[in-house]
Amino acid sequence: MLTVHSVKKLNGKCRVPGDKSISHRAVMLAGISEGKTTIDGFLKGEDCLSTIRCFEQMGVLVQEEKDRICIVGKGHKGLSEPKNVLDAGNSGTTMRLMAGILSGQNFHSVITGDDSLRGRPMERIAVPLRKMGAIIDGRENGKKAPLAIRGGQLKAIEYELPVASAQIKSAVLLAGLFAEGTTRVIEPRASRDHTERMLGSFGITVDTDGLSRTVKPGKLKGTHIEVPGDISSAAFLLVAAACLEGSEVTLENVGINPTRSGIIKVLQQMGAEIMINHQREVGGEPIADLNIRGTKLNAVEIGEEMIPSLIDEIPVLAVAAACARGTTRITGASELRVKETDRISAMAEELEKVGIEVTTLEDGMVINGPQKIKGGRIDSHGDHRIAMAMAVAGLLSEDIVEISNESCMAVSFPGFMDIIRELIDG
Ligand code: S3P
């Protein structure tokens, strides 16, 4: 049980851990590359450690040298058949992206995950991968994990994604590396493009034309990857500082890829003062130091067009909405219902326990503010982002907020509460 006390303000400078999406991709691409890849800033969170363990089971050598991860890849189609079930833990990215790679290998594999992941939809990747020639089965008529994959020679497809999802897009593009012909994916809206950018660093070109991406089969060459700080982790600190008047926090080295940085735009629209300093590019990813000052916030409308760029930040944005003046409406976010938990109903349930009224919609939520956050006992539902969003609510509350099942924070942000403690000022 974690007890969070209210604070007056946050002050100081810090770094958030490495980006989860980028860390997963670095291990996967390194694993199928020829030669050695070094990764700095890798996120040692539970999700990315699951990816490492899965690739180790397929013969990939992963070594830790101080803060650097060194991976000796097995080359194109060089992975070996795993002798046991691969466990993706809580990580949708591990399961879905790895399924794309496994579909192109001449062997059989089975991937499972924890209770949450086994409940999440997998037909979204199974459908296009089957079209490419992979044989994929699973529970509930092939829709849920454990998934059994019989990979083999794939053929390229052209595929229109039913939802804007980087996980589906990446699964198909990664399978495309092993397919005959040119694979094309078209998205309804732009989702995060880390796979496309990182493939460039490994020597593979992904052509972009509006919302379409194409890739040809190709062999990857090992490289050096620097993982920027995760903007999705920074979001918890940004919201806490934004809501606490008088706060001033600087977050160094944060990834500000435009497909991910909706949280900055939305907080600015709400009235937060955010300065984006020292912008630079590292390994094809834009990064910057973010400086935020807390002020009074106003409500905001967040519609479908913004959602992919801040999908993982909505739980904590709901907390900001409770503190902001006016009515915040979040719509077009039905994907939240199939994340680690149903984040619309889980957030509404937990916010209500600390006195925040939330109207849930099928595809979002409406929150009138400002509302007083009271103390209470809440449950994380085993979802790292719910746990941290409610910890932020605790910092802003009138009384103590107790959070059970809080260890899941380590899925994406090990040391979250330590960083918060360092920033507390009064
Ligand atoms: C991720 C993509 C997003 C995001 C998830 C990580 C990725 O999921 O919610 O936390 O690394 O590609 P979808 O692409 O399914 O929306």
Closest atom of ligand 1 relative to the 195 alpha carbon: 12
Q: Which helix (H) or strand (E) holds 329?
A: strand 326-330
Distances (CA, A) of 354 to 348, 375, 396: 10, 5, 11
Instruction: Output the pLDDT for position 66.
Output: 85
- Cα of 192 vs centre of ligand 1, distance in Å, is 8
Q: Within its chain, how far is the Cα of 386 from the centroid?
A: 13
Closest atom of ligand 1 relative to the 20 alpha carbon: 11
Per the CB < 8 A criterion, the answer to whether 145 and 85 are in contact is no
> Measured from the CB, is residue 165 less than 6 Å from ligand 1?
yes
Helix (H, G, I), strand (E, B) or coil at 91: coil
> Measured from the CB, is residue 21 less than 6 Å from ligand 1?
yes
Instruction: Output the pLDDT for position 134.
Output: 98
Residue 426 has pLDDT above 80, yes or no: no
Task: Look at ligand 1, atom 10, and give the residue with the nearest C-alpha.
Answer: 312
Q: What is the pLDDT of residues 42-86, one digit of tens each?
A: 999 999 999 999 999 999 999 999 889 999 999 999 999 999 999
Q: Given CA atoms 345, 357, 300, 269 in this order, what sign does their dihedral have?
A: negative
- Cα of 155 vs centre of ligand 1, distance in Å, is 25
- Cα of 414 vs centre of ligand 1, distance in Å, is 19
Per cent of the chain over pLDDT 90 is: 99
Per the CB < 8 A criterion, the answer to whether 292 and 366 are in contact is no
Instruction: Output the pLDDT for position 85.
Output: 98
Arithmetic mean of pLDDT, 174-181 = 98
Distance between CA atoms of residues 172 and 214, nearest Å = 10
Pick the CATH number of 20-226 from 3.40.50.10860, 3.65.10.10, 1.10.10.10, 3.40.640.10: 3.65.10.10
Q: Which CATH superfamily is domain 2-18+228-425 in?
A: Enolpyruvate transferase domain (3.65.10.10)
> Measured from the CB, is residue 191 less than 6 Å from ligand 1?
yes
Per the CB < 8 A criterion, the answer to whether 89 and 113 are in contact is yes
- Ligand 1 pocket test, pick from 25, 27, 50, 93 with the greatest ligand atom count within 8 Å of Cβ, gives 93
Instruction: Output the pLDDT for position 246.
Output: 95
Give the DSSP per-residue string, 37-65. Answer: EEEES---SHHHHHHHHHHHHTT-EEEEE
Residues identified as active-site: 312
Closest atom of ligand 1 relative to the 21 alpha carbon: 11
Going by the DSSP 8-state scheme, the letter that residue 219 receives in this structure is -
Counting every residue written for the chain, the total comes to 426
Residue 240 has pLDDT above 80, yes or no: yes
Q: Whole-prediction pTM value?
A: 0.98
Arithmetic mean of pLDDT, 240-260 = 98
Q: What is the pLDDT of residues 400-414, one digit of tens each?
A: 999 999 999 999 999
Q: For the chain, where do the domains classified as CATH 3.65.10.10 start and end? A: 2-18+228-425, 20-226
Number of H helices, E strands in the chain: 14, 28
Residue 97: pLDDT band with limits 50, 70, 90: very high
Instruction: Output the pLDDT for position 425.
Output: 82
Q: What is the pLDDT of residues 111-135, one digit of tens each?
A: 999 999 999 999 999 999 999 999 9
On average, the pLDDT of the chain sits at 97
- Cα of 109 vs centre of ligand 1, distance in Å, is 23
Q: What is the pLDDT of residues 350-390, one digit of tens each?
A: 999 999 999 999 999 999 999 999 999 999 999 999 999 99
Task: Collect all residues with Cβ–Cβ distance below 8 Å to 128 and sequence separation of at least 6.
Answer: 157, 159, 168, 171, 172, 175
> Measured from the CB, is residue 51 less than 6 Å from ligand 1?
no
Arithmetic mean of pLDDT, 311-334 = 98
